[in-house]
A and B are shown apart, each in its own frame.
Chain A
Amino acid sequence: MENTDDDSWHPLVEGDESRHDPMDRAAARDQRRFLTIALIGLAVLIALPFVVGDYYVSLFSEILIFGILVSGVNLLLGYTGLVSLGHASFMGLGAYVTAIAASLLGYPVWLSMLASILISLLIAYGVGLLSVRTKGVQFLLITLAFGQMFHAIAEKTRFTGGDDGMTNIPRIDLGFIGLDADQDRVFYFFVLVCFVVAMLILRRVVESPFGRVLVGIRENEKRMLAMGYTTFPYKALAFGISGMLAGLAGSLWVQHGFFVNPHIMTWELSGEALLMVIIGGSQSFFGPVLGAAFYVLAKDLLSEITEAYLMFFGLIFVLVVAFFQGGLAGFASRFAERFLNRKSDGGEDKP
């Protein structure tokens, strides 16, 4: 479908040669692969609440919410090559904005959600402008410092309940289509819709010329500068978009649990988000979501068996990093390729 688009918006040359270029076939194959995984995944996610019990429906809402967060984190980690330890604070920001707007100020939840998305985009973009000029450990520490700052603010703010946080936060009102989001199954589908929209936007971003620039920065920023790219606004916007997705996740999180407290802003959660990305596979578009599912389910399972679940989780993490190159997604992709007996040409769908 994409290939039949007319070329009237060609930036440089008119013509349709590109249709016959080999790379176009590679891009088309990549697109086919994306659609296949997306459609199968979507079918599974739609069928799920009809198959599993209430408890797991709620757990899967959690997975999808974390899926939005970690896909945003991966825009920085996997695509741009930046490791941020401050993303929990943007999730917390989104959560608090929704809580304050909906619960304290009495605005409708949908409007509060929009506010969450917008405010976390703007603030993350601002933080990005200040932090992306550094790299490596410095960048990590700056984002950590910002995160801790937001956390401290949340703890000290009286009108949001300080350390205790806020409770009784309403969920979105779906009365206009005759549904009640207070039912976990209904809320699950609402989260699913948000998840799909977020993933579609993210896919657009990584496929765009802007997204290709991010990958170039990851691979060799010096050469990008020499090519004429001023790289820092690209990185700052990537940071902003990634913070925006974290904000959306936070806004859904607070509705999911009906409450929020500063704990959501701790750097431990930022670290967990990075773990999910790496376990799932940072070199793949859906990998992080897989990582989130694995993390949430494994944590749930392990914490039933033992209180020292983190220890086992650490062990699993080490094994995945040591033996599954490209995380779970890399493993799945290699497995699928062998299974389908396709011509192997490098494996994972690289960002």
Chain B
Amino acid sequence: MSQLSVSDISKSFGALKVIDKFDLDLAVGERHAVIGPNGAGKTTLFNMISGWIPPDTGRIEVEGLDITGRSPQAVTQAGLARSFQKNTLFDGLTVAESLRLAVQAHSPVRFNFLQPARKFGGLQQRAHEIARQMELETVFDRDVNTLSYGQKRQLEVGIALACSPKILLLDEPAAGTSPAERATLVRLLTTLPDDVTLLLVEHDMDVVFGVCERITVLNYGRVVASGTPDEIRRDPEVRAAYLGESAGHAGEAGKA
């Protein structure tokens, strides 16, 4: 049984067909990227899988459990956590508190309203573990609004990871980062736990080829190609539709 199974989903906004009969099956631990030019429907696809927009047709399953049309919080509780393309963080809280909130969301103590939160050391411990994984240990007690942009992107992923998901959906984790920050992100994403299934939307080819073992190419809401990075790089239709002149650059990154 696949970890995430998306079958035949479509979405139209008015006359515009944004996603047309999209299929995707992810095995446990798979690293998968969805790429495509602007307006290809990647974000809509993500919003449908994570429960923010209901699909018009089709079915989405997490480990056989139907989550089609369920609320974002229900989808996350089913084991699918997402990050956002635009930082969606807790500016007034510390990194520690942000991560603890994410851990707490998946623990029964979240309903406790009469015991001090600090008594639940397990939350703190797990939050610290995530901070270490995301290389945010040194800023653990800092307010989120004092972090650098790259650190905020790391926290964006960290919060999703702190939900202990089976499937992690990352919406352009490297959006707006500098080359150095991007390198850090790629390193962090390649060291994610093996049992976490990763679905990534990304524009940056260094990140895609550096992290993922399978790639689906989307254009005008339809799958143009799907396969390993090598197959995608060679696919003439993909070159035409998307990679264009950046194909040479992507090839170099693939070798590295």
Contact A16 B116 (CB under 8 A): no
Contact B113 A237 (CB under 8 A): yes
Contact B124 A204 (CB under 8 A): no
B87 to chain A minimum Cβ distance, whole angstroms, is: 10
Q: How far is the CA of A216 from the CA of B98 in the complex (A)?
A: 8
Q: How far is the CA of A133 from the CA of B89 in the complex (A)?
A: 21
A89 to chain B minimum Cβ distance, whole angstroms, is: 24
> Does B50 touch A at the CB level, under 8 Å?
yes
Whether A210 contacts B110 in the complex (CB less than 8 A), given A13-B125, A229-B73, A346-B143, comes out as: yes
Nearest chain A residue, comparing its CB with the CB of B112:
A209
Contact A11 B72 (CB under 8 A): no
Contact partner of B96 (CB less than 8 A), chosen from A14, A23, A205, A220, is: A23
Contact B90 A216 (CB under 8 A): yes
Contact B124 A227 (CB under 8 A): no
> Does A40 touch B at the CB level, under 8 Å?
no
Whether A2 contacts B118 in the complex (CB less than 8 A), given A212-B100, A223-B90, comes out as: yes
**Within 8 Å CB of A17, what residues of B?**
121, 125, 128
Contact A9 B120 (CB under 8 A): yes
Contact B116 A226 (CB under 8 A): no
> Does B101 touch A at the CB level, under 8 Å?
yes
Contact A227 B141 (CB under 8 A): no
Whether A209 contacts B109 in the complex (CB less than 8 A), given A18-B125, A23-B140, A228-B163, comes out as: yes
Contact B143 A227 (CB under 8 A): no
B53 to chain A minimum Cβ distance, whole angstroms, is: 13
**Within 8 Å CB of B91, what residues of A?**
219-220
Contact A209 B122 (CB under 8 A): no
> Does A208 touch B at the CB level, under 8 Å?
yes
Question: How many residues of A sit at the interface, in one of the four size bands?
Answer: 35 or more
Whether A10 contacts B124 in the complex (CB less than 8 A), given A222-B88, A226-B50, comes out as: no
A202-254, CB < 8 A from B: 204-205, 207-213, 215-216, 218-220, 222-231, 237
Contact A22 B141 (CB under 8 A): yes
Contact B118 A223 (CB under 8 A): no
**Within 8 Å CB of A230, what residues of B?**
71, 73
> Does A33 touch B at the CB level, under 8 Å?
no
Contact B113 A229 (CB under 8 A): no
Interface size on B, residues (CB 8 A): 52
**Within 8 Å CB of B124, what residues of A?**
18, 21, 23-24
Q: How far is the CA of A226 from the CA of B81 in the complex (A)?
A: 7
Q: How far is the CA of A209 from the CA of B109 in the complex (A)?
A: 7
Whether A212 contacts B101 in the complex (CB less than 8 A), given A22-B141, A226-B50, A228-B106, comes out as: yes
> Does B190 touch A at the CB level, under 8 Å?
no
Contact B117 A211 (CB under 8 A): yes
Contact A212 B117 (CB under 8 A): yes
> Does A7 touch B at the CB level, under 8 Å?
yes
**Within 8 Å CB of B111, what residues of A?**
209-210
B60-93, CB < 8 A from A: 71-73, 76-77, 81-82, 84, 88-93
Contact partner of A11 (CB less than 8 A), chosen from B97, B122, B141, is: B122
Contact A212 B113 (CB under 8 A): no
**Within 8 Å CB of A322, what residues of B?**
none
> Does A27 touch B at the CB level, under 8 Å?
yes
**Within 8 Å CB of A229, what residues of B?**
73, 105, 110
B69 to chain A minimum Cβ distance, whole angstroms, is: 15
B218-245, CB < 8 A from A: none
Interface string of A184-215 (1 = CB under 8 A from B): 00000000000000000000110111111101
A34 to chain B minimum Cβ distance, whole angstroms, is: 11
> Does B24 touch A at the CB level, under 8 Å?
no
Q: How far is the CA of A9 from the CA of B116 in the complex (A)?
A: 12
Contact B90 A228 (CB under 8 A): no
> Does A156 touch B at the CB level, under 8 Å?
no
> Does A307 touch B at the CB level, under 8 Å?
no
Whether A220 contacts B89 in the complex (CB less than 8 A), given A225-B73, A226-B84, comes out as: yes
Contact partner of A219 (CB less than 8 A), chosen from B77, B92, B160, is: B92
**Within 8 Å CB of A207, what residues of B?**
116-118
Nearest chain A residue, comparing its CB with the CB of B137:
A22
Contact B90 A219 (CB under 8 A): yes
Whether A204 contacts B114 in the complex (CB less than 8 A), given A226-B82, A226-B84, A229-B105, comes out as: yes
Nearest chain B residue, comparing its CB with the CB of A229:
B105
B96 to chain A minimum Cβ distance, whole angstroms, is: 5
A56 to chain B minimum Cβ distance, whole angstroms, is: 35
**Within 8 Å CB of A27, what residues of B?**
118
A82 to chain B minimum Cβ distance, whole angstroms, is: 16
B94 to chain A minimum Cβ distance, whole angstroms, is: 8
Enumerate chain B interface residues (CB-CB to A < 8 A): 50, 71-73, 76-77, 81-82, 84, 88-94, 96-97, 100-126, 128, 140-141, 143, 159-160, 163
Enumerate chain A interface residues (CB-CB to B < 8 A): 2, 5, 7, 9-19, 21-24, 26-27, 204-205, 207-213, 215-216, 218-220, 222-231, 237, 346, 350
New A-B contacts (20) at CB < 8 Å, excluding given A14-B122, A212-B100, A227-B163: A9-B119, A12-B122, A18-B125, A21-B128, A204-B116, A208-B114, A208-B115, A209-B104, A209-B110, A209-B117, A210-B111, A212-B101, A213-B101, A215-B97, A218-B92, A222-B88, A226-B88, A227-B81, A228-B77, A228-B81
Shortest Cβ-Cβ A-B pairs, 3 listed: A18-B121, A210-B113, A228-B76
